[in-house]
Amino acid sequence: KKWVYFFANKQAEGRADMKDILGGKGANLAEMTNLGIPVPPGFTISTEVCKYYYDHGKTYPEDLKQQVDEALKRLEEVTGKRLGDPERPLLVSVRSGAAVSMPGMMDTILNLGLNDETVVGLAKLTNNERFAYDAYRRFLQMFGDTALGIPHAEFEKALEKRKEEKGVKLDVELDADDLKALVEDYKEIYKKHGKEFPQDTYKQLWAAIDAVFGSWMNERAIKYRQINNIKEGELLGTAVNIVTMVFGNMGDDCGTGVCFTRNPNTGEKIPYGEFLQNAQGEDVVAGIRTPVPLEELKKINEAVYNELLSIMERLEKHYRDMQDIEFTIEKGKLYILQTRNGKRTSQAAIKIAVDLVHEGLIDKETAVMRVKPEDVERVLHPKFDDEEVKNAKVIAKGLPASPGAATGKVYFDAKKAEEMHKNGEAVILVRPETSPEDVGGMNAAEGILTARGGMTSHAAVVARGMGKPAVVGAEEIVVDEEKLEFKVGDVVVKEGEWISIDGTTGNVYLGKITTVKPQGLEGEVAELLTWADEIRRLGVRTNADVPRDAKVAREFGAEGIGLCRTEHMFFEKDRIPKVRRMIVAKTKEQREAALAELLPLQKEDFKGLFRTMKGLPVTIRLIDPPLHEFLPHEEDQMKEVAEQVGITVEELKSIVEQLHELNPMLGHRGCRLTITYPEIAVMQTKAIIGAAIELKKEENIDVIPEIMIPLVGHINELKYVKKVVKETADALIKESGIDLTYKVGTMIEIPRAAVTADQIAQEAEFFSFGTNDLTQMTFGFSRDDVGKFLPEYLEKGILEHDPFKSLDWEGVGQLVKMGTEKGKATRKDLKVGVCGEHGGDPRSILFFDAAGLDYVSCSPYRVPVARIAAAQATI
Ligand code: PEP
Ligand code: MG
């Protein structure tokens, strides 16, 4: 079996479409080599070896060693250097790279091949002793940390000490002799930890390979995969890339950088990047030195700058996507070390996808698939309240690394941030700079602020990927992790105090600022969504109770109202006393009198909704919750309410007691209420039909009201309430002399209704799955109390998703599927929708599309998300 893939001189054994076995980095190095782009030669050990390694008790396939030896030999031939050769030493980098990019999650070792002999050779070869010993000490540090587990900080301390002794501040101020001494310091550190640095370069190579494969299962890599929903077994593992070293730190005609073919924050088609003269790659990524903008390279070396720009363009056209490229310049010669599809903000993802269609590089389907439903959600996401932010105090400014506004309490430690988040606190994680160990805390935070690092530093890249607001490199800030505070000028912010950050402007504010969601769809998002509309089969409606919500939803593209929960209007100030009078009525007459007062108010509500929706379908549900929800339970409110409805406190208490149920969610609610009190259904029908009639008469607006009966489990329940509704509606319509059609349908939210959907469809003219209740009753999980144990279920892997957020495909989903099939078998033109929370969840929408539903209905802000998710479901 082939385990090792070689690449050099415009010829590679791998290709871009071999990501699964070469990892993203390896596949792209091979592809670029084939394209004739200047890539240093090397070879990739496949991800299949990683899988083998873990399947076989951390051992390698028998023939791996031979294949690595052969590849190494070829590499030595093409470079004219040899691993361990004291005259012409070959130096390589050893890097991880899985099929999915996991920035900084796994290990990298540079300058491998240096030892006490080869370092002398390198010094002679480059005529630069300082450079050689700097490379050596870096290698000792990385190798010790990565392959042997010696804490990174120990090496840093030794370096600091040397600088202190010499009275200098910067690494570059240390000369060759200082670095030689530092090498000896480092070796001492190895000894102190009971380790020995292998002078045998071949041993170094295998130790590094072991370390990279070992890093696949390290804590932070596992955590990264968890956070990014990469399942175990989804990837084979990491590949190991062994690539000839090129040096960006051999002098001022050298350097290293990272560039994007478009701006990864805004998506604008402008090359974007950073460059650091006389530096090695990790100096940029670690955010230790702050690099200069890419354009500066033009001044330093215009030829190389132009070559880079032309390669950027070629790579983008070739991959048909925005590329994130790492490059190094060694003595004026450009090398490309890596290219990959660049991580980008949600805003940029949308703009780039739309622009690439306009540029003819991809088609509309591809554009729709490139954007994650969450991207659409995020661009509609928080900004600061305009007024509040005007008066807020800017205490610092950093780089706007990941857009959006966030406000929270300051914590300096990732673990603590996670803990506080669990306690329900809004957290802003503040760090000098972040490293992969901080990823858990970054994920828990509302936003991230760092004092150091550039736009491609760890904090910036990871925050963008997470869609978290982040401000990085706010250099005025001095973080004191010991005292748990940071200082900017004379302002001191202590742990637990509020700050706010704006990842769009880079501003850092003192105190809490309310965040608000932006309104309206425009520009590229709007265009992308119209493409989604052309593609999708599922309709998208909204759950809205009042005209204001309906209006927002229409602007977001809702094609109707899938659920109006009428009882929400009952809580309005002017209604609640009337509702209560209806509930405490002792006789039917009393109840009808109270209902008669409610009728005109409800009718106005519905007119408002119908007017806003301008002829689009509007589904209105009859009263659903148990009546006790409308009555007070606190002693101190009893008196006021008793007066309000004209009974004694004692009487009110006894009514509340009578209404008390041990299990109200399974109690007297839904159609059970209108079966007991048909007069409520009569009033609501009058309000709905009356509103439609009046709108037709007064404003010539056509409406087709859909009256929905909740919580039906047995066809006879539906029959009974439907009869009441129909008699009322038909009489009104007849009296009006207007031609009005309306529909009567039902929620399917009790398992029995799904099972007997064929019968129920004989009466129901439409179905809407209430997946909230259906989940509650199928699992037998109380939707209001599930928080007591669900987090543990998720943690222990008993359930993969919160079933109230994302549909349970195998269980609840099967009821939805069965109900749809049975219903449509009885009534061919039966319209079937869903109006539970799942209607706005992309993963659930995938299922609803496959199950043959006609539409989903969700809260207004999720309508755009549902439009894109529905389109993706059909592609
Ligand atoms: C449902 O049960 O899914 C539903 C939409 O109704 P409610 O959430 O109002 O019970
Ligand atoms: Mg329900």
Better pLDDT: 589 or 785: 589
597, 739: one domain: yes
Average pLDDT, rounded, for the chain: 92
> How many domains are contained in the chain?
5
ipTM of this model? 0.99
Residue 455 confidence (pLDDT): 65
Residue 300 confidence (pLDDT): 92
- The single-letter code of the amino acid at 285 is V
- Residue 761 contacts by C-beta under 8 Å, 6 or more apart in sequence? 767, 822, 823, 824, 825, 826, 827, 830
The answer to whether 282 and 257 are in contact (CB under 8 A) is no
Q: Is the CB of 776 under 6 A from ligand 1?
A: no
pLDDT exceeds cutoff 70 at 162: yes
766, 735: one domain: no
Residue 323, domain extent: 246-344
Q: Is the CB of 565 under 6 A from ligand 1?
A: yes
Residue 533 confidence (pLDDT): 97
User: Predicted confidence band at 404 (pLDDT cuts at 50, 70, 90)?
Assistant: confident
| Burial of 54 from C-beta contacts in 10 A (0-12 / 13-18 / 19+) | middle
Using one digit for the tens of pLDDT, what is the confidence trace for 93-117? 999 999 987 876 667 899 999 999 9
Annotated ligand binding at 88? The verdict is: no
30 belongs to a structural domain = yes
Residue 104 confidence (pLDDT): 67
Q: How far is the CA of 782 from the centre of ligand 1 (A)?
A: 13
Phi/psi for 349 (5° steps) reads: -55, -45
150, 16: one domain: yes
Q: Which of 193, 90, 212, 189 is nearest to 137 (CA)?
A: 189
For residue 227, the domain's CATH number is: 3.30.1490.20
Q: Is the CB of 726 under 6 A from ligand 1?
A: no
Q: Which two tokens stand for residue 237?
A: 């593992």
Of all ligands present, the nearest one to the C-alpha of 712 is 2
Q: Which two tokens stand for residue 484?
A: 């748990």
Residue 120 confidence (pLDDT): 96
Q: Is the CB of 836 under 6 A from ligand 1?
A: yes
For residue 632, the domain's CATH number is: 3.20.20.60
Closest ligand 1 atom to the C-alpha of 769? Answer: 3
495, 641: one domain: no
Annotated ligand binding at 621? The verdict is: yes
Closest ligand 1 atom to the C-alpha of 835? Answer: 5
Mutating to test ligand 1, I would choose from 748, 772, 775, 859 the residue with most ligand atoms within 8 A of its C-beta, which is: 772
Annotated ligand binding at 772? The verdict is: yes
- Beta-carbon neighbour count of residue 117 at 10 Å? 15
Residue 265 confidence (pLDDT): 85
Using one digit for the tens of pLDDT, what is the confidence trace for 208-227? 999 999 999 988 888 888 88
Domain boundary among 197, 212, 245: 245
Residue 285 confidence (pLDDT): 57
Instruction: Provide mean pLDDT across the span 626-631.
Output: 89
Q: Which two tokens stand for residue 173?
A: 């101020």
The gap between the terminal CA atoms of the chain, to the nearest Å, is 36
Highest mean pLDDT among 228-232, 275-279, 622-626: 622-626
Look-up: residue for tokens 């960006």?
248
Specify the 3-state DSSP secondary structure of 325. Answer: strand
Catalytic residue among 381, 421, 458, 628: 458
For residue 333, the domain's CATH number is: 3.30.470.20
Q: How far is the CA of 757 from the centre of ligand 2 (A)?
A: 17
Instruction: Provide mean pLDDT across the span 681-705.
Output: 96
pLDDT exceeds cutoff 70 at 465: no
Annotated ligand binding at 160? The verdict is: no
Q: Is the CB of 772 under 6 A from ligand 1?
A: yes
Domain boundary among 210, 230, 245: 245
645, 697: one domain: yes
CA angle 56, 59, 62 (to 5 degrees): 100
Q: In percent, how much of the chain has pLDDT > 70?
A: 97
Highest mean pLDDT among 156-170, 372-386, 676-690: 676-690
629 belongs to a structural domain = yes
User: Predicted confidence band at 814 (pLDDT cuts at 50, 70, 90)?
Assistant: very high
Instruction: Provide mean pLDDT across the span 512-533.
Output: 87
Among the residues of 237-345, which ranges form H helices? 281-285, 295-300, 302-319
521 belongs to a structural domain = no
605, 645: one domain: yes
What is the C-alpha separation between 211 and 205, in angstroms, rounded?
10
Phi/psi for 275 (5° steps) reads: -140, 140
What is the C-alpha separation between 813 and 838, in angstroms, rounded?
11
Cα distances (Å, whole numbers) of residue 135 to 176, 682, 802: 11, 85, 50
241, 324: one domain: no
Instruction: Provide mean pLDDT across the span 393-420.
Output: 91
Q: Is the CB of 728 under 6 A from ligand 1?
A: no
Strands of 376-480 (E only): list them.
Answer: 383-384, 393-397, 399-402, 405-411, 427-431, 447-450, 470-472, 478-480
669 belongs to a structural domain = yes
Residue 520 confidence (pLDDT): 58
HEC profile of 776-828 = HHHHCCCCCCHHHCHHHHHHCCCCCCCCCCCCCCCCHHHHHHHHHHHHHHHCC
Residue 802 confidence (pLDDT): 84
Instruction: Provide mean pLDDT across the span 30-41.
Output: 97
What is the C-alpha separation between 283 and 170, in angstroms, rounded?
13
Residue 284 confidence (pLDDT): 62
Among the residues of 101-258, which ranges form H helices? 118-126, 129-148, 152-166, 176-192, 201-215, 219-227
669, 795: one domain: no
Residue 859 confidence (pLDDT): 82
User: Quick check: is 835 catalytic?
Assistant: yes
Closest ligand 1 atom to the C-alpha of 776? Answer: 2
pLDDT exceeds cutoff 70 at 518: no
Of all ligands present, the nearest one to the C-alpha of 771 is 1
Cα distances (Å, whole numbers) of residue 391 to 387, 388, 466, 854: 7, 5, 29, 49
pLDDT exceeds cutoff 70 at 286: no
pLDDT exceeds cutoff 80 at 53: yes
724, 833: one domain: no
State the Rg of the chain over Cα. 33
Q: Measuring from atom 9 of ligand 1, which residue has the nearest CA?
A: 565
Q: Is the CB of 771 under 6 A from ligand 1?
A: yes
324, 395: one domain: no
371 belongs to a structural domain = no
> What residues are paired with 621 via a beta bridge?
565, 708
532 belongs to a structural domain = no
For residue 469, the domain's CATH number is: 3.50.30.10
Mutating to test ligand 1, I would choose from 623, 624, 807, 853 the residue with most ligand atoms within 8 A of its C-beta, which is: 624
95, 239: one domain: yes
Residue 679 confidence (pLDDT): 96
Strands of 9-107 (E only): list them.
Answer: 11-12, 42-45, 92-98
Residue 770 confidence (pLDDT): 96
Q: How far is the CA of 568 from the centre of ligand 1 (A)?
A: 13
Instruction: Provide mean pLDDT across the span 18-30.
Output: 95
Lowest-pLDDT choice from 393-402, 511-520, 579-588, 655-664: 511-520
Look-up: residue for tokens 């990892």?
23
Specify the 3-state DSSP secondary structure of 620. Answer: strand
User: Predicted confidence band at 263 (pLDDT cuts at 50, 70, 90)?
Assistant: very high
DSSP state of 89: B
pLDDT exceeds cutoff 80 at 436: no
Q: Which two tokens stand for residue 806?
A: 């994302």
Using one digit for the tens of pLDDT, what is the confidence trace for 817-856? 999 999 999 999 999 999 998 999 999 999 999 999 999 9
**Continuous segment of H or E residues that includes residue 276:** strand 272-277
The answer to whether 29 and 7 are in contact (CB under 8 A) is yes
What is the C-alpha separation between 419 and 698, in angstroms, rounded?
59
Lowest-pLDDT choice from 21-25, 46-50, 451-455, 757-761: 451-455
Lowest-pLDDT choice from 104-118, 610-624, 806-820: 104-118
Q: How far is the CA of 835 from the centre of ligand 1 (A)?
A: 7
pLDDT exceeds cutoff 90 at 347: no
Highest mean pLDDT among 31-40, 285-294, 788-797: 31-40
Annotated ligand binding at 770? The verdict is: yes
User: Predicted confidence band at 182 (pLDDT cuts at 50, 70, 90)?
Assistant: very high
Q: Measuring from atom 4 of ligand 1, which residue has the nearest CA?
A: 770
**Continuous segment of H or E residues that includes residue 440:** helix 439-444
Q: Is the CB of 835 under 6 A from ligand 1?
A: yes
pLDDT exceeds cutoff 80 at 462: no
Catalytic residue among 259, 564, 671, 835: 835
What torsion, rounded to 10 degrees, do the Cα atoms 529, 530, 535, 541 define?
70
Helix, strand, coil percent values for the chain (each to nearest 5): 50, 15, 35
368 belongs to a structural domain = no
The answer to whether 211 and 146 are in contact (CB under 8 A) is yes
694, 771: one domain: no
Across the beta sheet with 485-488, the strand order is 478-480, 485-488, 491-494
The answer to whether 810 and 875 are in contact (CB under 8 A) is no
266 belongs to a structural domain = yes
Q: Measuring from atom 8 of ligand 1, which residue has the nearest CA?
A: 772
| Burial of 327 from C-beta contacts in 10 A (0-12 / 13-18 / 19+) | buried
Closest ligand 1 atom to the C-alpha of 565? Answer: 9
Q: In percent, how much of the chain has pLDDT > 90?
A: 74
Q: Is the CB of 770 under 6 A from ligand 1?
A: yes
What is the C-alpha separation between 566 and 139, in angstroms, rounded?
69
Instruction: Provide mean pLDDT across the span 189-216.
Output: 95
Domain boundary among 344, 364, 393: 344
